[in-house]
Amino acid sequence: MLSIYLDNNATTSIDAEVVQTMLPFLTTHYGNASSRHCFGDPAAKALRAARQNVQALIGAERETEIIFTSCGTEANATAILSAVKAFPNRREIITTTVEHAAVLSLCLDLEKDGYTVHQIGVDACGQVDMAAYIAALSPNVAVASIMWANNETGAIFPVVEMAAKAKSAGVLFHTDAVQAVGKLSIQVDETDIDMLSMSGHKLHAPKGIGALYLRKGTPYRPLLRGGHQERSRRAGTENIANCVAFGAAAKLAIQSLTDDARAMAGLRDCLQSQILAKASGVNVLAASVPRLSNTLAIVFSTINGEAMLAHLDRQGIAASGGSACNAGRIAPSHVALAMGLAPLEALGMVRFSLSRFTTQAEVTKAAEAVSVIARNLRNIST
């Protein structure tokens, strides 16, 4: 059976070099980075080197601007809750309708607590409504949290411009860059972004490690207290092996980012054109806006995306849909709905996401399988 992994926006494989780099910190170098003895020293040194690699990956000015967290979700929660605690009199938040649940559900919880949440919409192409965003900025806003790139469609938002607008309005700007880091060249220091979330497992590091970029001078309240780790900004003994892995993955990403992006865009475009050529009733989401080079979100008319995914899975091809299973019912992707698709139409969505390890042969086989399954599913339904 085939084994083709096209779900890299969900998680990536751990790079073999990353595994080798982290292994000694699971075996011989198990010391606590805070310990002042010969077991603690290697851990502290490795932690520092990892932090510097992550700093370099996003072009931060100082290594101390990087706070390691347990995941991207924690980085997002830390940023947003920090801003609302730092500005208790500001009772409004700006975000978008298409954020990852890590941001969206937190904002909706804050809404229940009395915050006004401005959910900025997107157009049919998946691009954010800049005019609505600018109109929502005011001195009442504690934070604007706008994702850099959408995990479902790959649409890239103009966060550099949006951060500049936030700065002019005196509003803190956070970006969930979990899908952007390692795929786009980022020089955060050249922007007005105050906080930026990252996640290791989206760039060939293990699950369970993330980081928050916190620009020097940004008002900050820790989410986890009770320890001096991370300069008292995130309590809890650091997961050294995972931090080292994230650092190693960051270093590899820096080395090959431009070449990887070009190669993935070529393969993604090939997958897209082969599917469009072989299958009818196919609509590519966010095709006309800047898009992550690895992402292809497709809506198959009159086909249920979950059925397509199940058939692909039986052939050893892994992709994913935007749909979520809520209380036993399949709910269409909130991103597709926000782009104006009707609920039934949105249920036809399938997302393919590539990595630097994806090959031309895999793309060709996947495109062939998709078109055959699409034909068969349509034959059954007619």
Contact positions vs ligand PLP (CB under 6 A)? 71-73, 100, 102, 147, 151, 176, 178-179, 199, 201, 210
Shortest Å, Cβ 167 to ligand PLP: 23
Distance CA(204)–CA(346), nearest Å, equals 30
Shortest Å, Cβ 369 to ligand PLP: 25
Q: For ligand PLP, which is the closer residue by CB, 102 or 252?
A: 102
Q: Would you list the DSSP string of 10-73?
A: T--PPPHHHHHHHGGGTTT----TT--STTHHHHHHHHHHHHHHHHHHHT-S-GGGEEEESSHH
* Helix (H/G/I), strand (E/B), else coil: 298: strand
Shortest Å, Cβ 210 to ligand PLP: 5
Q: How far is CA 78 from the centre of its chain?
A: 16
Distance CA(217)–CA(130), nearest Å, equals 27
C-alpha angle 334/340/343, rounded to 5°?
A: 60
Beta carbons of 1 and 369 less than 8 angstroms apart: no
Half-sphere exposure (Cβ direction) of 134: Cα atoms closer than 13 Å:
8
Q: For ligand PLP, which is the closer residue by CB, 102 or 307?
A: 102
Shortest Å, Cβ 93 to ligand PLP: 17
Q: Which residue's CB atom is positioned nearest to ligand PLP?
A: 72
Q: For ligand PLP, which is the closer residue by CB, 203 or 252?
A: 203
Distances (CA, A) of 122 to 94, 101, 115, 129, 355: 14, 16, 22, 5, 26
First to last CA, the chain: 29
Distance CA(191)–CA(60), nearest Å, equals 10
Shortest Å, Cβ 67 to ligand PLP: 14
Catalytic hit among 38, 125, 243, 325: 325
Q: For ligand PLP, which is the closer residue by CB, 209 or 369?
A: 209
Residue bearing tokens 């309240």: 221
Q: For ligand PLP, which is the closer residue by CB, 199 or 323?
A: 199
Shortest Å, Cβ 95 to ligand PLP: 12
Q: For ligand PLP, which is the closer residue by CB, 31 or 72?
A: 72
Is 125 marked active-site? Answer: no
- Phi and psi at residue 163, to the nearest 5°: -65, -40
- Indicate which residues carry an active-site annotation: 325
